[in-house]
Structure 1
Amino acid sequence: MNTIIRDAKIIDPKSAFHNNIVDILIIDGIIKKIGTSLQNSENATEVKLDNLHLSQGWFDSSVSLGEPGFEDRETIANGLTVAAKSGFTAIALQPNSYPIIDNQSQVNFVKNKAFGCATELFPIAALTKQSEGKDMAELFDMKNAGALAFGDYNKSLDNANLLKIALQYVQDFDGLVIAFSQDEKIKGNGVANEGIVSTRLGLKGIPNLAEELQISRNLFLLEYTGGKLHIPTISTAKSVQLIREAKSKRLQVTCSVAIHHLVLTDEKLDGFDTRFKVAPPLRTETDRKALIEGVLEGTIDMITSDHNPIDIEHKKMEFDGAKNGTIGLESAFGTLMTVLPMEIIIEKLTAGKATFGVQTNPIEAGQKASFTLFSPEGKNVFTKENILSKSKNSAFLGVEMKGKVYGIYNQGKLVLG
């Protein structure tokens, strides 16, 4: 479909049109021309939206959907529609389906399911068979099938030698290892951040040490082996410091933070609302501020929604027994706009492409048209009517948000919310 996007302010430091208001002519999915008052000689569909801003397409480095096996939580087709209307042109799919994405056929299955969608799906394959942490999965075969990286979602690898071998092995094909960091022995039966709130509520605590000790171990392994390591969804001030120090040693380590850890704290647990039960747990205001600082200074490379749909049977129950996770795609941009500058948000929602080896497309003539349409203005309260996912387990219900996502243009398709 040929399209002209009118009066769009470009937010792309890699483009010569950065901060300019222009028209963009797209022919067969390629940016044909950028300028002011372009003539519509191609009979293209015209798109004109209030206070329209345009950036490179956003990428989410941690999305769970459910299919195969948990289609009641979310399907791939609907999940990718949700992602598109939330501004994401690409997502990295976590392997925590049933069966686990731990072999070539499962990688091919989810890729085929996503074929033809405007939002591109890139599978993260399990690092170990069945994500059980015992035997390494067939990493090279899955890389050839299109796996983006290797990691066991929200599961820490107790076997340090196995992580060491994995970091050494993937260097033969420039692979990326993802290491969720939480010492299970120190976590024990904990369900909430260890501190004043958990003590007051009588909930078993998970100390910051559980995360920090594992991150320290994993960074020591990386220093020994070389290779590339990604540490997802860090949640403590000390974790930021540890990764900052590792980067100063020029280790190839990257990290992400989940939106809920930038916005919410464990004070939300008053009332025992399981929507706020996530892994790692919501921490203190001190940690939240340190994470914000880590984003602003560049220690934290990317921001993820860590979108994780959970069915009501496993979420609306006693706090100790409820599953961890919140959905976050629909609320991602509006929530971030309440705590961070727009330019930083765009940077952190696009920077993950470089880490994960996803193609980037500057907004220039001749490039593939792949961008997000949004406005940084306006306020609204996030309600159930704003949830497009099949599961409704959002930690952001009732939160006042800023800005609006219109949708995306990608893969030759325009998707507007």
Structure 2
Amino acid sequence: MNVLIKSATIIDAKSDFHNATHDILIEKGAISKIAKSIKNPKNYKEIKLDNLHVSQGWFDSSVCFGEPGFEDRETIINGLKTAAKSGFTSVALQANTCPVIDCNSDVSFIKSKAQHHAVSLMPVGALTKNSEGVALAELFDMQNAGAVAFSDYKRPIINPNLLKIALQYASNFGGLVCSFPQENKIAGNGVMNEHVTSTNLGLKGNPNLAEALQVARDLYILEYTGGKLHIPTISTVEAVDLIRAAKQKKLDITCSVAIHNLFMDDTELKEFDTRFKVLPPLRTQNDIEALIEGVNDGTIDMVTSDHNPLTIEDKKIEFDYATYGTIGLESAFGALQNLFTTKKTIKLLTNGKARFSLENSIIKEGALANMTLFNPDGKYTFTADRIVSKSKNSIFLDRELKGKVYGIIANNKIEL
């Protein structure tokens, strides 16, 4: 793949060309030259786009595609297309499939389905067999097959001893253990945040306490065992405070926040619209402010779209019975641009790479081309026709977003 990118502003704090507007020549998938102006004697394809910016390729630490087993929600091929159109050059695929990804052959299958694609698909293996929370899955074998972490998607580790053993065992080979932050006995049958709004609506509430207790427990276990722990999609002020204190103790802990939890509070549910039924639930404005502060001071390491395609049958039913989840890849960049500067947005979209065993793809001569192309300016209303996913359950429908993703260049391929 040979291409000449014309007049691109490079946003990459680790690059010598950061903030500069240059041409970028890519030959056989690698960056061969970066300069103010590059001639094109070999008549390579040229990319000239309005207000073109490029950055290191973006990474999402939590996406679901459905396949195998739930292809009606999404397929791997269309999911990868969605990721590419949304600016992501790599995504970590959750194990909530049927069968659950809990052995090396399952990981190998997922990897094989994504071969020869511009987007790198990084499987997350189930932490326990069939994600049932009873016995550890084949962690070491799955990591050897290509798994980048271990998680029972949206299922907390109920047995504290199981988490202890998982952290001790995985530390032998540098495995990353993920623990969903919810104490089920406290959360009970809550379908939204426990607060004034849940009382007014007559819906059962899931309190902040359910998250805080689980996070506190997990951090105590991590301090005892050592190892690497990642807590995905925190949503409360208490969780931010607990993780901030744990980092001050130098524990090997990271966490993420779902992008929609930075924007929307529980009052969005006043019309019983199931698009807003997510897990963890939308909390209060106080929690949102704490989450944004955590992002800004580095307590929260990365953001995720928490992309989870669901069918109409999953969502267009009575609120209590609707499935938790929203798609988010297509809206991720535009939403973040409403909260943060472009440089901060790009940092958040690339921060998680090292934690999930991915190399940073610095934009420099001699490096393999792994970059996202985008325009940070311009506002628009996010409508269904902008959704590439098979499922359309977006929490950001009809919201004003900012910026446009052109596509990606990665793995010696162009997706624009």
Confirm or deny a common fold (TM above 0.5). yes
| Partner residue in 1 for 2:317 | 317
Distance 2:192 2:60 in 1: 25
The amino acid that maps onto 1:255 is C
Contact 1:3–1:27 (8 Å) recurs in 2: yes
Deviations 1:385-407 (A, max 9, x none): 01110000000000001111111
Distance 1:383 1:270 in 2: 21
Distance 1:378 1:152 in 2: 38
Distance 1:62 1:366 in 2: 30
Distance 1:170 1:109 in 2: 22
> SS where residue 172 of structure 1 aligns?
coil
Structure 1 segments of 4+ aligned residues over 4 angstroms from their partners: none
Deviations 1:210-241 (A, max 9, x none): 00100000000000000100000000011111
| Partner residue in 2 for 1:279 | 279
1:293 has 2:290 as partner: no
Shift of 1:341: 1.5
> SS where residue 42 of structure 2 aligns?
coil
Contact 1:192–1:203 (8 Å) recurs in 2: yes
Distance 1:122 1:388 in 2: 20
| Partner residue in 2 for 1:335 | 335
Shift of 1:339: 1.2
Distance 2:242 2:267 in 1: 25
The amino acid that maps onto 2:328 is G
Shift of 1:42: 2.8
Contact 1:8–1:22 (8 Å) recurs in 2: yes
1:81-120 alignment runs, 5 A limit: 81-120=81-120
The amino acid that maps onto 2:61 is S
| Partner residue in 2 for 1:305 | 305
Distance 2:340 2:236 in 1: 18
| Partner residue in 1 for 2:9 | 9
| Partner residue in 2 for 1:347 | 347
The amino acid that maps onto 1:365 is E
1:14-413 alignment runs, 5 A limit: 14-413=14-413
Contact 1:52–1:374 (8 Å) recurs in 2: yes
Identity %: 62
The amino acid that maps onto 1:153 is Y
Contact 1:2–1:42 (8 Å) recurs in 2: no
> SS where residue 271 of structure 2 aligns?
coil
* Residue segments in structure 1 that go unaligned for 5+ positions in a row: none
Distance 2:326 2:192 in 1: 15
Distance 2:186 2:341 in 1: 36
> SS where residue 172 of structure 2 aligns?
helix
Distance 1:103 1:354 in 2: 24
The amino acid that maps onto 1:237 is V
With the length of structure 1 as denominator, give the TM-score of the two structures. Answer: 0.99
Contact 1:87–1:405 (8 Å) recurs in 2: yes
Deviations 1:260-288 (A, max 9, x none): 00111111101100000000000001101
Shift of 1:49: 0.5
The amino acid that maps onto 2:409 is Y
> SS where residue 24 of structure 1 aligns?
strand
With the length of structure 2 as denominator, give the TM-score of the two structures. Answer: 0.99
> SS where residue 270 of structure 1 aligns?
helix
Distance 2:241 2:106 in 1: 37
Distance 2:235 2:3 in 1: 42
Shift of 1:342: 1.3
Distance 1:238 1:215 in 2: 9
The amino acid that maps onto 2:293 is E
Distance 2:292 2:203 in 1: 27
* Residue segments in structure 2 that go unaligned for 5+ positions in a row: none
The amino acid that maps onto 2:303 is I
The amino acid that maps onto 1:315 is K
Distance 1:404 1:375 in 2: 5
Distance 2:81 2:51 in 1: 23
Contact 1:148–1:356 (8 Å) recurs in 2: yes
> SS where residue 140 of structure 1 aligns?
helix
Distance 1:255 1:13 in 2: 22
The amino acid that maps onto 2:8 is A
Distance 2:42 2:253 in 1: 47
The amino acid that maps onto 1:285 is Q
Deviations 1:62-96 (A, max 9, x none): 00000000000000000000000000000000000
Shift of 1:187: 0.5
Contact 1:150–1:177 (8 Å) recurs in 2: yes
Shift of 1:181: 1.0
Distance 1:66 1:277 in 2: 19
The amino acid that maps onto 1:229 is L
Shift of 1:41: 2.3
Distance 1:142 1:19 in 2: 40
Distance 1:211 1:175 in 2: 24
Shift of 1:37: 1.3
Shift of 1:414: 1.1
Distance 1:309 1:289 in 2: 28
Task: Give the total of aligned pairs.
Answer: 416
